[in-house]
Amino acid sequence: MAIQLRGGSGYHCALRSYPTGFPLNTLLLDANDLDDRQRALSLLRQGELVAVPTETVYGLAADARQPDAVAKIFAAKNRPANHPLIVHVAGVEALSAWADPVPQTALELAAAFWPGPLTLLLHKAPHVNSVVTGGRDTIGLRVPDHPVLLNLLRELDTGLAAPSANPHKQLSPTSAAQVLAGLGGRIAAVLDGGTCRVGLESTIVDLTTDTPRILRSGPLTRQQLEAVLGQPVLQPQQHEVAVAGNMKVHYQPRTPLYVLSRDELLDRLKQRAGARLAIVWYGSMPDSFDGSVVLSARTMPTDKAAYASALYRELHELDSLQADAILLERPPQDEDWLDVNDRLSKASASL
């Protein structure tokens, strides 16, 4: 059953800078409830914004064929209009409806990894409105691996433009509650489909150049893409494609975040005795550590997938403690962990 939510006390700070039309009554819809799923469908058909679950993070969806609906995404998120949106589609057969041409490499990667956390960057089909692509001639396409969203996409018979469902520059949400905390009062509804399994945003691979290249690291690694394509895939540290996820400062919690080695972290604890600190250890806590002197002490899993799936949830929770700082022990630096380290370096970049 839909729950009516007003822009309650938790949302006010987010609403203040808002233009006209806010606050809205944001509905909390239950993905297990047929009526609620129908409600989400009709809102999307009417050109409203609905936050939807994906396997990576929650997306803020609008019908990609309705430019006015897509424009609302930028207003709700406070996102600059030149930041293009990923279009989510129901299956590989939709590729030719949105991209032209569809290269062989796209078909190979789609066959191997869709539905899944992979966004393909292709030349857009002529009909695609430039509001979706931020004025570019390319389009990002992805088939999400989430039954709730896949069912919506099949019913709608269109694509859903959906960036992560967070205010611009803040942390991506991995639960409906986190979506509401950031965007409650600014969007028509959130469809609660539980916690996102993967927990980090998709890998973005650009197939518009001679050699494929990764524009944003993600759950699927360069080696996995190369194994399917049988050719090298570039993973430049820097590139000129101004994707929002490529900006140095992004994905930020409000509490200053320091990513430190274990020794640095223990040192910092001594220096900042008496401060309200939240500590996040990798694996286990050191024997010498006295958890009673800090506001919060947690450990992260050593398994990469489990770590990635927990990261944004932990950062959201720690951010709500109003600590003076979050000190997080640096995880491994292996290639497997590139996406985690990429998000951590952006989350802590202003320090």
User: Which residues sit opposite 260 in a β-bridge?
Assistant: 329
| Tokens found for residue 238 | 């820097």
Q: In whole angstroms, how close is the CB of 350 to Mg ion at the nearest point?
A: 17
Nearest residue (CB) to ligand TXA, 253 versus 277: 253
Confirm or reject binding of residue 217 to Mg ion (CB under 5 A). Answer: no
252 binds Mg ion (CB under 5 A): no
Residue 164 in contact with Mg ion, rule: CB under 5 A = yes
Closest CA to 161 of 182, 179, 178, 139: 139
The answer to whether residue 71 forms part of the interface with ligand TXA (CB under 6 A) is: no
Closest approach of Mg ion to the CB of residue 162, in Å: 10
Give the whole-angstrom CA distance, residue 283 versus residue 273: 23
Residue 316 in tokens = 């959201």
Shortest distance, CB of residue 109 to ligand TXA, whole angstroms? 15
Task: Give the number of residues in contact with Mg ion, rule: CB under 5 A.
Answer: 1
Site mask, Mg ion, residues 113-152, x = CB under 5 A?
Answer: ----------------------------------------
Asked if residue 98 lies in contact with residue 82, where contact means CB atoms within 8 angstroms, the answer is: no
For position 241 contacting ligand TXA by CB under 6 A, the verdict is yes
Peptide bond into 23 cis (omega under 30): yes
Q: What is the contact mask toward ligand TXA in residues 80 to 119, using x (rule: CB under 6 A)? A: ---xxxx------------------------------x-x
Nearer to ligand TXA (CB atom), residue 179 or residue 277: 179
| 204 near ligand TXA, rule: CB under 6 A | yes
Q: How far is the CB of 194 from ligand TXA (least distance, A)?
A: 15
Nearer to Mg ion, 41 or 243 (CB): 243
- Closest Cα to residue 105, out of 122, 93, 91? 122
- Partner from ligand TXA, Mg ion, none binding residue 342, C-beta < 5-8 Å depending on class: none
The contact set with ligand TXA (CB under 6 A) reads 54, 56-57, 59, 83-86, 117, 119, 121, 133, 136, 138-140, 142, 144, 162-164, 201-202, 204, 241, 243-245
